[in-house]
Amino acid sequence: MNVARLISFAFILITIGVISVKFISWEYTFKNILPQKKYEVNIDISSRGFSQPVNISTYLPISDNRQTISYETNNSPSLNFLVEQTKSGRVGTWNTMNGNGMLPIRYSFEFIGRAIKYNIDSTLIIPKTYPPSFNEYLKTTKNIQVKHPQINRIFQEEVGDNDQILEVLANIQSYTNSLKSRPFKGVTDALTAARLGEASCNGKSRLFIALARSANIPSRLVGGIILESGTKKTSHQWVEAYIGNEWVPFDPLNNHFAFLPHNYLSMYRGDKFLFSHTKNINFEYKFNVKSRLSPNPLLQQELKSHPFNAYQLWKLFESIGIPIGLLKIVLLLPLGALIVAIFRNVIGMQTFGVFLPALIAVASRETGLFWGLIAFMIVIGVVSLVHFPLEKWGILYTPKLVIMLVAVVILFLIISYLSIELNISSLAYIALFPIVILTISAERFARTISEEGFVQALLITLQTLIVSSVAYFAMNSDSMEAFFLAFPELFLVIIGLNLLLGQWIGIRVIEFIRFRVLLR
Amino acid sequence: MKKLLKKILNASEYLVGINQRNLEYVYPNNPRKHFPLANDKVLAKSILEKNGVPVPVTYAVVNELWEISTILEQILIQKEIVIKPANGSGGGGILILFQKDEGVWTTHSGEVYKKNKLYHHLASILYGVYSSGDKDKAIIEYCLTPHPFLTGIYDKGIPDFRIILLKGIPLMAMLRVPTNKSGGKANLHQGAIGIGVDMDRGIVTQGFYKNKYVDYHPDSGNYFAGKVIPDWSKTLEISIETSKLFPLDYLGVDIILDRYSGPMVIEVNARPGLQIQNINKIGLKESVDKNIQL
């Protein structure tokens, strides 16, 4: 075995060793290292005023032990906005005395939730009495008809004389869940749900509450949204019952028993409506949800307390004012380069420049992959046009490159300006593209056109874009970022893999196509 | 599917890919420090000339700007010349010129080069326009006339033979013939057609063009398959002689067959390409196994 191979195996083994120590002796956990799912929620409300007072209100979520709400922003150019705390939740109100024309509202926030599971002690007995403040969670209301004979009958059939909390609630859940599910619009009261034998989330929840209150268990409605990427109008309602000393969630529609999934956003408590608004204003709303992964706040805690990770560097960068994004780029660039190396040496793709794809991927972090690739193509295409007259006039190499570089800079400024004017703000970030490397790539692109033809140049561009995209997805993954922060020893693996790659004499994938007439 | 997989797994028995070419042929046989001998045409040519290997006669080498005017005077006695950058690649900067009237040179396509334009072209070469910005030299040399055997295939541009040798033993050879698409250049990348050579029998075999085998030139329509190559044994001998003069054991030698002077070496290459495998329908490894007893 040769030295390079020995070193590469040693590097890989050392890394596995260090990572094992971190997990076993220092109690690193995957749960804390891996990123969490984060949701960007936009509540879009539109209405139209005809010179009259307009008043719209909705519940706004608040952070609690299960959900974290951050980066709240309100954008309502033609309406006043105020927030007040009520018993059922935080209410946001938009109003104006004289609403005219379209009155758009966008309320945005970020949500991170965690799934929560409660264990109900099977020996717990339903208390006989509660403090007076619990009366409202036990009483009968217009839509939750606790005392109604029909509800009583169902209670006797489904629950009977039982005083064990766990069993009573299990019976109620299994009965309400067994009712047919139907996406009714509007309000279904408990009695109607029972009579029809079918209901949507709010009918089943009210019936659940009516039965729980019949058993003397305080319970209430919870309103919110089940978050999924996409646009929707459906909100959701579920139930909380007071057990021991806490409110425990139940969802009779989706059969979650003493459990709430991580993507349930709760917005208010009680039998309320999510929205209320002035009549005749063409009120419309929708929820626009995007999910993405984001670094786990627990990761920082984890890293802070242990040596041999990149957290200290992080602190150092922060203390001297270097943007943290730069550290992330530095940490992930080797990974991008490894991907380029694999594509070039194993698959056999041709790219402009060895590391250009990794750098395009880095630059696209800010613009997003789509605009990043578009910007790259525009720059390469336009700047290579400059090359042809320069070549025809026999301009020398270095001065030619300088002229092309100036063309890149001018183009960047124009694109940045236009993107802000046209409100495609992410495109303005193309100024972060590595200008010098782009210039050299544009020159090489133009030269490839002269020497090997336009088709060939285009093919290499296409391959560069493919490799860039793959590098982008690897380098912009929060999991990768978290992993390299927690385990910078992975660099050794990258060196090791390249030592192996550098000795690999296998035939590249593309060569099988190139030499296909010879295969036998 | 299974059959294809088997084919792919077997390929490394006879085919050589870029990775293997570099790791097992180029790196161990061609020390990096000797690359300039092959890359610099002035240097390569002087080694060949000194040892009596036939090369096109050098009329002048331009090293510095101030020499240009004098040299332009000196070459007025020639009817035809070739100007080349010493370190060019892909045929960039090469100019073939006839002297129409005194001091008035023109290309095949009729572009006129008077003193100023010629001066500028030579200066561009020296400044590195054709060698990625590095300072370069220009060679002005005898303009070869292709042998009738070659013009019988295609009569524009100058075809050349490429012979690949390992430790002085010829492994494979091909004939590269320009096409309309390649614009007179015998460069496969630019669309020249590659024609296989049966080295033992001294004949050309099939041509490989646009991933298909053909027996005739795609533009002239002239058949070539099976034609006997004139002076082949001398061509082969020259390639062997050449490879022994360079401390590069894996070498591509480019030879042009001149109508009047026979085979002449025009260039050597320290990392010859692999397309020759397709052109000859044979893997490089196979021909190593066939030609070299290890």
Q: What ipTM did this prediction achieve?
A: 0.85
Q: Which residue of A has its CA nearest to B127?
A: A396
Q: What tokens does A503 get?
A: 């000795």
Comparison of pLDDT for B190 and B219, the residue scoring more: B219
CB contact under 8 A, B278 and A453: no
Q: What b/e string do you get for A208-238 counting C-beta neighbours within 10 Å, with b at 16 or more?
A: bbbbbbbbebbbbbbbbbbbeeeeeeebbbb
Q: Looking at the predicted structure, is the pLDDT value of residue A397 above 60?
A: yes
Name the minimum distance, in Å, from the CA of A7 to any CA of chain B: 19
Q: Looking at the predicted structure, is the pLDDT value of residue A279 above 60?
A: yes
Name the minimum distance, in Å, from the CA of A396 to any CA of chain B: 5
CB of A393 within 8 Å of any CB in chain B? no
Chain B residues touching residue A397 (CB < 8 angstroms): 127-129, 132-133
Q: Which residue of A has its CA nearest to B21?
A: A505
The predicted pLDDT at position A384 comes to 82
A vs B, Cβ pairs < 8 A, gives 80
Residue A217, C-beta contacts closer than 8 angstroms, at least 6 positions apart = A126, A165, A168, A169, A241, A242, A243
The predicted pLDDT at position A258 comes to 92
Distance CA A262, CA A264 (A): 6
- State the pLDDT confidence band at A297, using cuts at 50, 70 and 90: low
Name the minimum distance, in Å, from the CA of A329 to any CA of chain B: 30
| Number of Cβ atoms within 10 Å of the Cβ of A153 | 11
Tell me the torsion sign for CA atoms A499, A503, A505, A511.
positive
Report which secondary-structure segment, H or E, holds B106: strand B104-106
CB contact under 8 A, A397 and B127: yes
| Number of Cβ atoms within 10 Å of the Cβ of A157 | 10
Kindly report, residue by residue over B281-290, the tens digit of the pLDDT. 999 999 999 8
Kindly report, residue by residue over A457-511, the tens digit of the pLDDT. 889 889 999 999 999 988 887 778 778 877 888 899 999 999 999 888 889 999 9
Kindly report, residue by residue over A35-66, the tens digit of the pLDDT. 677 888 999 998 888 888 899 999 999 988 88
The predicted pLDDT at position A85 comes to 92
The predicted pLDDT at position B221 comes to 92
CB of A511 within 8 Å of any CB in chain B? yes
% helix, strand, coil for chain B, step of 5: 35, 30, 40
Chain A residues touching residue B127 (CB < 8 angstroms): 396-397
Residue A300, C-beta contacts closer than 8 angstroms, at least 6 positions apart = A311
CB contact under 8 A, B129 and A511: no
Comparison of pLDDT for A298 and A284, the residue scoring more: A284
| Number of Cβ atoms within 10 Å of the Cβ of A71 | 9
Contact A162, A211 (CB under 8 A): no
Q: Of all residues in chain A, what percent carry a pLDDT higher than 90?
A: 25
- State the pLDDT confidence band at B148, using cuts at 50, 70 and 90: very high
Q: What is the DSSP string of A220-258?
A: EEEEEEE--SEEE---EEEEEEEETTEEEEEETTTTEES
Distance CA A266, CA A113 (A): 10
Q: What b/e string do you get for A9-27 counting C-beta neighbours within 10 Å, with b at 16 or more?
A: eebbeebeebbeebeeeee
CB of A507 within 8 Å of any CB in chain B? yes
CB of B108 within 8 Å of any CB in chain A? no
Name the minimum distance, in Å, from the CA of A401 to any CA of chain B: 10
CB contact under 8 A, A505 and B7: no
The predicted pLDDT at position B190 comes to 82
Distances in Å between the alpha carbon of A437 and those of A21, A354, A458? 41, 10, 18
Q: Looking at the predicted structure, is the pLDDT value of residue A202 above 80?
A: yes
Backbone angles phi, psi at A69, to 5 degrees: -110, 130
Comparison of pLDDT for A315 and A113, the residue scoring more: A113
Distance CA A147, CA A133 (A): 20
The predicted pLDDT at position A498 comes to 92
CB contact under 8 A, A518 and B14: yes
CB of A519 within 8 Å of any CB in chain B? yes
Q: State which amino acid sits at residue B50.
A: K
Residue A361, C-beta contacts closer than 8 angstroms, at least 6 positions apart = A336, A372, A468, A469, A471, A472, A474, A475, A476
Q: Which of residues 431-490 of A touch B (CB under 8 A)?
A: 451-453, 456
Q: What is the mean pLDDT of residues B84-101?
A: 85
Chosen for mutation from B7, B12, B19, B24 (greatest number of chain A CBs closer than 10 Å) is B19
The predicted pLDDT at position A185 comes to 73
CB contact under 8 A, B278 and A518: yes
Kindly report, residue by residue over B8-63, the tens digit of the pLDDT. 888 888 999 999 999 999 999 999 899 888 889 999 999 999 999 999 999 999 99
* Listed residue (B210, B156, B147) closest to B178, CA to CA: B156
Q: What is residue B253's three-state secondary structure?
A: strand
Chain B residues touching residue A503 (CB < 8 angstroms): 23
The predicted pLDDT at position B246 comes to 94
pTM to 2 decimal places? 0.69
Q: Looking at the predicted structure, is the pLDDT value of residue A423 above 80?
A: no
CB contact under 8 A, A507 and B17: yes
Q: What b/e string do you get for A335-353 counting C-beta neighbours within 10 Å, with b at 16 or more?
A: bbbbbbbbbbbbebbbbbb
CB contact under 8 A, B281 and A514: no
For residue B25, the 8-state DSSP code is I
Q: Which residue of B has its CA nearest to A507?
A: B17
Contact A443, A401 (CB under 8 A): yes
| Number of Cβ atoms within 10 Å of the Cβ of A133 | 8
Contact A461, A380 (CB under 8 A): yes
Distance CA A263, CA A290 (A): 12
Contact A362, A475 (CB under 8 A): yes
For residue A133, the 8-state DSSP code is G
CB of B23 within 8 Å of any CB in chain A? yes
Q: Which of A394, A452, A505 sits opposite B190 (nearest CB)?
A: A452
CB of A514 within 8 Å of any CB in chain B? yes
Chain B residues touching residue A508 (CB < 8 angstroms): 17-19
Q: What is residue A362's three-state secondary structure?
A: helix
CB of A515 within 8 Å of any CB in chain B? yes
CB of B94 within 8 Å of any CB in chain A? no
Q: Which of B8, B120, B274 sits opposite A394 (nearest CB)?
A: B120
Q: What tokens does A271 get?
A: 């039998």
Q: What is the mean pLDDT of residues B125-133?
A: 81
Q: What is the mean pLDDT of residues B109-121?
A: 89
Distances in Å between the alpha carbon of A13 and those of A20, A28, B169? 10, 19, 44
- State the pLDDT confidence band at A244, using cuts at 50, 70 and 90: confident
Comparison of pLDDT for A302 and B221, the residue scoring more: B221
Contact B41, B130 (CB under 8 A): no
CB of A398 within 8 Å of any CB in chain B? yes
CB of B104 within 8 Å of any CB in chain A? no
Name the minimum distance, in Å, from the CA of A392 to any CA of chain B: 11
Q: Which of residues 251-290 of B touch A (CB under 8 A)?
A: 274, 277-278, 281-283
| Residue that has been written with the tokens 């056109």 in this structure | A449
Name the minimum distance, in Å, from the CA of B11 to any CA of chain A: 6
CB contact under 8 A, A520 and B24: no
Q: What is the mean pLDDT of residues A340-352?
A: 91
Kindly report, residue by residue over B245-261, the tens digit of the pLDDT. 999 999 999 999 999 99
Q: Looking at the predicted structure, is the pLDDT value of residue B195 above 70?
A: yes
| Number of Cβ atoms within 10 Å of the Cβ of A182 | 14
Chain B residues touching residue A395 (CB < 8 angstroms): 129
Residue A149, C-beta contacts closer than 8 angstroms, at least 6 positions apart = none
Q: What is the mean pLDDT of residues A295-322?
A: 69
The predicted pLDDT at position A353 comes to 78
SS3 for B136-199 is CCEEEEECCCECHHHHCCCCCCCCEEEEEEECCEEEEEEEEECCCCCCCCCCHHHCCEEEEEEC
Cα dihedral A273/A218/A257/A208 (nearest 10): -60
* Residues, chain A: 520
Contact A47, A103 (CB under 8 A): yes
Chain A residues touching residue B90 (CB < 8 angstroms): 451-452
Distance CA A70, CA B115 (A): 75
Q: Looking at the predicted structure, is the pLDDT value of residue A421 above 90?
A: no
CB contact under 8 A, B213 and A517: yes
Contact B244, B168 (CB under 8 A): yes
CB contact under 8 A, B129 and A397: yes
Q: Which of B24, B128, B278 sits opposite A515 (nearest CB)?
A: B278
CB of B201 within 8 Å of any CB in chain A? no
Residue A126, C-beta contacts closer than 8 angstroms, at least 6 positions apart = A163, A164, A165, A168, A215, A216, A217
Comparison of pLDDT for B164 and B4, the residue scoring more: B164
CB contact under 8 A, B283 and A507: no
The predicted pLDDT at position A291 comes to 77
Report which secondary-structure segment, H or E, holds A512: helix A509-514
Q: What is the mean pLDDT of chain B?
A: 91
CB contact under 8 A, A397 and B211: no
Kindly report, residue by residue over A63-101, the tens digit of the pLDDT. 888 888 988 999 888 889 999 999 899 999 999 888 888
The predicted pLDDT at position A424 comes to 66
CB of B116 within 8 Å of any CB in chain A? no
CB contact under 8 A, A518 and B24: no
